[in-house]
């Protein structure tokens, strides 16, 4: 499972898929690729031409009841924290046609690469192995609900840029806190009693 650096590694890996796959010669601009914070979306005119990726919401996945996990050496640790990461992919260009071309290309590129493996995820940060070798994350197109879009628009107090929503579901962030080991169970007492009738 993943360390607490998993969110940063995932964000950078999504951006890397786009940057590495970009057919730069097919665009009239030299697109940049940048992680941005939500407050930057309000001034979308100030964003560089290219693709901006914004992590705008993080939620604990509703299927939270996970069992404690065991390490390879047998230690019991607190359960992993299952997170859903919600992103906005924002194409930015001074010319509408170029913006639409960037959007179409980026949507297709992410649809062609919906699963990011541990190799792609781990090479994004300087820290050692954030994800275990058998781990991966799945990126799912998840357009904003109208209520969410209107709430963002209201907070931005400006015209929001064209954007597409994506979600990474059940990103498991591991705990390093151990759970105490009790002695083996030898007898169960169910506390049965006779009810007077």
pLDDT of residue 163: 87
The β-bridge relationship of strands 136-141 and 115-117 is antiparallel
What are the helix and strand counts (H, E) for the chain? 5, 8
Q: pLDDT value at position 158? A: 60
pTM: 0.82
What would the mean pLDDT of 122-143 be, rounded to a whole number? 91
DSSP 86: E
- 73 or 6: which carries more pLDDT confidence? 6
The beta strands (E) that lie in 3-158 are given as 32-36, 50-60, 69-70, 76-77, 81-92, 115-117, 136-141
Residue 66's pLDDT band, with cuts at 50, 70 and 90, is confident
Helix orientation angle between 96-112 and 6-21, rounded to the nearest 10 degrees: 120
Q: What is the pLDDT of residue 102?
A: 96
pLDDT at residue 194, rounded to an integer: 73
């Amino acid at each position: 499972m993943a360390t607490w650096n998993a969110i940063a590694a995932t964000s950078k890996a999504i951006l890397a898929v786009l940057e590495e796959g970009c057919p730069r010669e097919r665009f009239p601009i030299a697109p940049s690729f940048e992680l941005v914070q939500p407050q930057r979306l309000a001034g979308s005119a100030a964003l560089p031409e290219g693709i901006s990726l914004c992590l705008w919401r993080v939620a604990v996945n509703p299927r939270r009841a996970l069992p404690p996990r065991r390490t390879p050496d047998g230690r019991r640790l607190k359960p992993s924290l299952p997170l859903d990461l919600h992103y906005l992919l924002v194409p930015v260009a001074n010319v509408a046609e170029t913006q639409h071309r960037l959007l179409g290309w980026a949507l297709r590129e992410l649809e062609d690469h919906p699963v990011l493996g541990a190799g792609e995820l781990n090479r994004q940060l300087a820290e050692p192995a954030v994800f275990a070798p058998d781990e991966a994350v799945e990126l799912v197109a998840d357009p904003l609900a109208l209520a969410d879009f209107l709430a963002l628009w209201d907070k931005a107090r400006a015209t929001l840029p064209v954007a597409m929503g994506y979600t990474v579901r059940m990103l498991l962030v591991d705990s390093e806190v151990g759970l105490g080991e009790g002695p083996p169970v030898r007898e169960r007492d169910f506390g049965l009693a006779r009810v007077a009738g």
